[in-house]
Amino acid sequence: MNWEMSKIVRTVTDIMVVPIIVYGIYLIVHGHLTPGGGFQGGAVIASSTALLIIAYGSFRDHKADLSSIESIGLTLFIILALLGLFLGATMFHNYSAGTGGLFGGTVPQGINPGYINTGGTVPLMNIMVGLEVAAALSLILLMMGKASDSVEVEA
């Protein structure tokens, strides 16, 4: 695109993009404690991409990077599911819940304040799905921006 928005919009975008991405990462990582999760956090991160595209109009071609991130996220998600099949009982079995290690803490039964180091494979799957959704929605936005760039609009 050969246009960009005014300096006010670009400055506000610069300020707002970082909190938006941080909030998306928070939604993804705290998916097993609070409302939210991989899909929602990924959509929030993709909205920062939309903001950047609208404000700046020009962007480098990140198609290959985003495509790789999306494929890696989905592949790791399927690998985690299959690990549940081989290490546990069934596909998507939560084999590492309460066994110590990464996200392996135990939750006190009933009402509790919520501890981040719990959940077994659930937070890992949240992160993988978050990667996949953020990359996929950003990729769709980028491709649509490119397509609208190459079509001349009648003024």
Partner 1 sequence: MRKLVAFLAIMIIFAFLVITAVELRGDDGGFGEPVNTEMDEYFLENSQSHNQVNNIVTAILFDYRGLDTLGEATVLFAAVSGVLTVLRKMKPVKRGGKR
Closest approach, Cβ 143 to partner 1, in A, equals 5
C-beta neighbour count of 69 within 10 angstroms: 18
When asked if residue 47 is in the footprint of partner 1 (CB under 8 A), the reply is no
State the binding string over 50-89 for partner 1 (x if CB under 8 A, else -): -------------x---x--xx--x--xx--x--x-----
Closest approach, Cβ 27 to partner 1, in A, equals 11
As a whole number of angstroms, the distance between CA 26 and CA 34 comes to 10
Q: Which is nearer to partner 1, 10 or 146 (CB)?
A: 146
Closest approach, Cβ 15 to partner 1, in A, equals 30
Comparing C-alpha atoms, which of 5, 53, 45, 46 is closest to residue 22?
45
As a whole number of angstroms, the distance between CA 125 and CA 42 comes to 13
